[in-house]
Structure 1
Amino acid sequence: MKAAGKNIVVTGGGNGVGRELVLQLLEQGATVFAADINLSALNETLRISGNNKKLFIYAVDISDKEAVNAFAEKVIEQHKKVDGIINNAGIIQPFICLNELEMDRIERVMNINYYGTLYMVKAFLPYLLKRPEAHIVNVSSMGGFLPVPGQSVYGASKAAVKLLSEGLSSELADTNVKVSVVIPGGIATDIKKNSDIAYSVSTESSKSNMVLTPKKAAELIIKAMEKKKLRSYIGKDCMTMNLLYKLNSTFAMKMIIKVMSANKH
């Protein structure tokens, strides 16, 4: 689905990849409804857009089912139609093993990453089915197919997003609504900060050519929508590890353990 002339919802639109998605969709002629829990971050996105009159911002906690339903109803009431949603918002867990991870942290990760995506799909799908052409894009993660030590719950949430998307695509095969799941590797964003996790960023890792910039990640996510691709692996690290995992999962798991052990988080 091309963005031009379409009404598209983007979650996590206050920063990082979400902000880049908003700006690039606007450039391509879409009307964008940006949702984020952080209203000040959304206002900054609006400012950066030049107060674009085709950008509408909404403070929404996507882990709150009733808030998401109210958001969908408000968008439809105000703008009459939605042609696409991009479920980009997400957080990671602290880099600790499951045995040490508190249940409130586990629930927060699952509520935002998985249930937030599910709530958005459930709230907007009835309206998308009424459109002559519509698209759902869900952002998963390399951690959703490759086990990462210290990120088991995050990985489980993103694996759930991947399978939800694939199952939904099959269910909607005979409709006007297409589904894409985008599976990125590392992206140079503030996801650790936004997840309330203490962190340090090494200059080398943030400048690595294996890591996507938010701008490039957003570009590839939009391309997946345009090409109606069900599954898109983006980033050199993700594509490399996907190939290795398919060839020899044990070797790939040992490699990621070695990489994680060599880096401070």
Structure 2
Amino acid sequence: MIVLVTGASGGIGASVVHRFVSEGHQVIAAARSGDALQALAQQYPGKVLPVTLNVGDNAAVNVALAALPPEWQAIDVLVNNAGLALGLEPAQRADLDEWEQMVDINIKGLLYVTRAVLPGLVERNRGLVVNLGSVAGRWPYPGGNVYGATKAFVRQFSLNLRADLAGTRVRVTDVEPGMVGGTAFSNVRFNGDDARAAKVYEGTEPLMPDDIADAIYWIASRPDRVNVNTIEIMPVRQSFSALAVDRDRK
């Protein structure tokens, strides 16, 4: 298979690259960090094609995919992994620029790459689109506001893709991880504040990127009669809170 992974320079994306290559597949690794992509490609000569790309730039997405070498163009699996969370302030104090960045990458970036790749999948009448959602798209939490909303979009867009693709052999899955450690996710959210980011995982045992990569590979390796619509994955040490109730205090 030829697999396109966005956000492939680290975290879950890099783990997905490693997993598919280890199973004998070719991977187009796309991300904004060219140096990290080159390091990946050097680990797997001829198996990883690095593509420096900002998914939030539609023109750049179309140019990059059109410029793929002919032997890399028949993509079988698209993993829309690129995404980010910024800030944890309540909506009334949130940074509007951060909201827009999340919409640009988590929603628009996913749309741009999907729209560029999907016609080829339909023409070949095979393939899989995996969109990285989040439990935040289903379960709200204070400060999650726009990040959670973008991930709710990912879930609904994935389901609607399947509705549009009825009658084809193209599959679509929304993968919704809970708390995942071993990535730059929280460092990005807190603008590089390593101490604050570390507090998120302190004293617990989160999922790791390889756990999500394993799930994605399992989905991709199912018989082509099987479509996994949505899969939600949380660490054992993460669960659900009671509904918040504001009470008068005497």
TM-score band (shorter)? 0.7 to 0.9
Aligned partner of 1:53 in structure 2 is 46
The secondary structure found in structure 2 opposite 1:173 is coil
Contact 1:36 1:61 in 2 (8 A): yes
Flag the structure with higher helix content: 1
How far 1:234 moved relative to its partner? 1.2
Relative to structure 1, is the Cα distance of residues 252 and 44 closer, same or farther in structure 2, using a 3 angstrom cutoff?
farther
Name the CA distance, whole Å, in 2 between partners of 1:109 and 1:86.
18
Relative to structure 1, is the Cα distance of residues 73 and 252 closer, same or farther in structure 2, using a 3 angstrom cutoff?
farther
Name the CA distance, whole Å, in 2 between partners of 1:207 and 1:127.
46
Unaligned runs of 5+ in 2: 246-250
Relative to structure 1, is the Cα distance of residues 237 and 65 closer, same or farther in structure 2, using a 3 angstrom cutoff?
farther
Matches within 5 A, 1:51-200: 51-75=44-68, 77=70, 79-188=72-181, 189-195=183-189, 197-199=191-193, 200=196
Name the CA distance, whole Å, in 2 between partners of 1:253 and 1:74.
50
Q: What is the letter of the counterpart of residue 187 of structure 1?
A: V
Q: Deviations over 1:180-209 (max 9, x none)?
A: 000000101111334562432447825623
Aligned partner of 2:244 in structure 1 is 254
* C-alpha RMSD of the superposition: 2.3
Relative to structure 1, is the Cα distance of residues 232 and 76 closer, same or farther in structure 2, using a 3 angstrom cutoff?
farther
Q: Deviations over 1:211-256 (max 9, x none)?
A: 1111111111221233331111112369844xxxxxxxxx64439x
**Percent identity between the two aligned chains:** 27
Residue correspondences, number: 239
Matches within 5 A, 1:16-27: 16-27=11-22
Q: What is the letter of the counterpart of residue 172 of structure 1?
A: L
Q: Deviations over 1:137-164 (max 9, x none)?
A: 0000011011121120000011001100
How far 1:61 moved relative to its partner? 0.3
Unaligned runs of 5+ in 1: 1-5, 242-250, 256-265
Relative to structure 1, is the Cα distance of residues 102 and 194 closer, same or farther in structure 2, using a 3 angstrom cutoff?
closer
Tell me whether 1:205 sits opposite 2:201 in the alignment: yes
Aligned partner of 1:263 in structure 2 is none
TM-score by length of 1: 0.83
Name the CA distance, whole Å, in 2 between partners of 1:25 and 1:190.
21
Contact 2:5 2:16 in 1 (8 A): yes
TM-score by length of 2: 0.88
The secondary structure found in structure 2 opposite 1:236 is coil
* Residue of 2, 7, 32 corresponding to 1:7: 2
Q: What is the letter of the counterpart of residue 110 of structure 1?
A: V
Aligned partner of 1:229 in structure 2 is 228
How far 1:126 moved relative to its partner? 0.6
The secondary structure found in structure 2 opposite 1:130 is helix
